[in-house]
Amino acid sequence: MFKRAIAGTTVFLFLTGVAHAQLSETEQRIVAAVKLRTPAALQLLEKSVLINSGTLNPEGVRAVGEIYRAELDALGFKTRWIDMPPAMKRAGHLVATHEGGSGKRVLLLGHLDTVFEKGSSVPLWERRGDRVRGQGVNDMKGGDVILIEALRALKSAGALDHANVEIMFTGDEERAGMPLQTARGDMVAMGKRADYALSFEGSNKHDGVDTASIARRSSGGWVLRVKGKAAHSMGVFSAQSGYGAIYETARILNAFREQVIEPSLTFNPGLVFGGTNVSYADDTATASAFGKSNVIARDAEVLGDLRYLSPEQGERARQKMQAIVSSGNLPGTSATISFSESYPPMPPTEAGRKLAELYSKASVDAGLGRIDTLDPSLRGAGDVQFVAPYTVGIDGLGAQGRGAHTDDEDLEIASIERGAVRAALLVYRLTQ
Ligand SMILES: [Zn+2]
């Protein structure tokens, strides 16, 4: 597909004065179509950012979904809304499908929700020169608009007709509904029939070079529960009274730190509480503890997270932690640990690396520079991980900005056009 257009390339160079020697005629039309839409793309972004769509605001999430749905309908996609069970308290997801024959099938992922709930003091949209500050501008409505504009450019260049493309915009990426089997069941089914999955979460720069992700770490948690004997503090360390729950907790956490750390693995105790009686309220993430300095602690608990790059690494970490918890307990104490996993890990693969190279080549060919792969320890978990076990995926095809999830989340406006050019070329090359 690259060779047959060489003759036409020279002509186009004359017309535009831009060196696109690496792009076919169709690809040059695709790039031109993206650029023509640059002002309108920003308007589409503004329109969708002006609606608050915090994960727990289902009306807002659905309203943003309606905006994108209308755009995809106009491009010839079959669209549908998938509702989630009411008990889950989530808006559901927007799905769009374009059938185009027997070529490779590409799954594109975005999300409609943001971390900014209704009543957030962060302004929805605040233009600042060549940047915009606002709710979800780079995480990830900017990426959603890039996805849509890339497809629009393919359509207007006549390059969408023979493409098999499926899209899922989830409504609960920032706080996935439970159970996850229900919340991500449709996505997993789409992942199973896809040859490639491209996710449009924000793109990071590393050492001045744009990056994409071929690996993302799991996100899971653990709860450590420690028991001691409540007794007068004067007996602490004695055979009869023992060391108490808090000393045992300290032993365990210190052993985790000394024995379990390895590259790409992290585990963070985020909350520790102990005393005579303890309790924890999940809905407010608040612990309470009753105890006195002259009483040996009977109860202690620790809530932590655990992030790893491969199932093997996760298993190794859990086994080491389990061994530390269940042996070597201080006198008079006992401990248990339980683990949970919310996002499966997406380990780096050769196929993923090749896909990232294609993405980088598309960028270079369009004169937008190479794209490196991002160290997975530099980013959190994301939806692409649910399909990673079934297809070849990369993430980070979205917009560029700073401070995602913070009050200062912003977006570099020019990154919309850049992202749409790269994504359109990649989808074109994968589907033709
Ligand atoms: Zn996101």
Tell me the per-residue pLDDT of 174-194, one tens digit each, with 9 for 90 and over: 989 989 999 999 999 999 999
Q: Which segment of 12-21, 79-88, 108-117, 212-221 scores lowest on mean pLDDT?
A: 12-21
Which residues are CB-neighbours of 155 under 8 A, at least 6 positions away? 75, 76
What pLDDT, in 10s, does the model give residues 56-113? 999 999 999 999 999 999 999 999 999 999 999 999 999 999 999 888 999 999 999 9
- CA of 113 relative to ligand 1 center, distance in Å: 8
- Using the mean position of ligand 1's atoms as its centre, give its distance from the Cα of residue 119 in Å: 20
Residue 21's pLDDT is what?
65
Confidence of residue 1 (pLDDT cuts 50, 70, 90): very low
CA of 140 from ligand 1 middle (Å) equals: 5
Q: At what angle do helices 311-326 and 244-259 cross, to 10 degrees?
A: 140
- What is the 361 CA–ligand 1 centroid distance (Å)? 25
- Amino acid letter for position 308: Y
Neighbours of ion ligand 1 (CB under 5 A): 139-140, 201
| Distance from the alpha carbon of residue 24 to the mean position of ligand 1, in angstroms | 33
Q: Environment class of residue 60 by beta-carbon count within 10 Å: exposed (0-12), middle (13-18) or buried (19+)?
A: buried
Q: Alpha-carbon distance 69 to 375, whole Å? A: 34
**pLDDT for the residue numbered 273:** 98
Query: What share of the chain in percent tops pLDDT 70?
Result: 95
Q: Which helix (H) or strand (E) holds 425?
A: helix 414-431
112 in Cβ contact with 200 (< 8 Å): no
Measure 383 CA to ligand 1 centroid, in angstroms.
8
Distance between start and end Cα atoms, the chain: 9
Buried (b) or exposed (e) across 218-254, using 16+ Cβ within 10 A? bbbbbebbbbbbbbeeeebeeeebbbbbbbbbbbbbe
Identify the band that residue 202 occupies on the pLDDT scale cut at 50, 70 and 90: very high
**What distance in angstroms lies between residue 201's CA and the mean position of ligand 1's atoms?**
5
Tell how far the Cα of 407 is from the centroid of ligand 1, in angstroms: 15
Average pLDDT over residues 296-304: 98
The total of other beta-carbon atoms located within 10 Å of residue 268's CB is 10
CA of 202 to the centre of ligand 1 (A): 7
Distance 322 CA to ligand 1 centre (A): 32
Cα separation, 62 vs 94, whole angstroms: 9
Q: How many CB atoms lie within 10 A of CB 78?
A: 12
For ligand 1, the distance from its centroid to the CA atom of residue 313, given in whole angstroms, is 25
- The Cα–Cα gap between 409 and 427 comes to 28
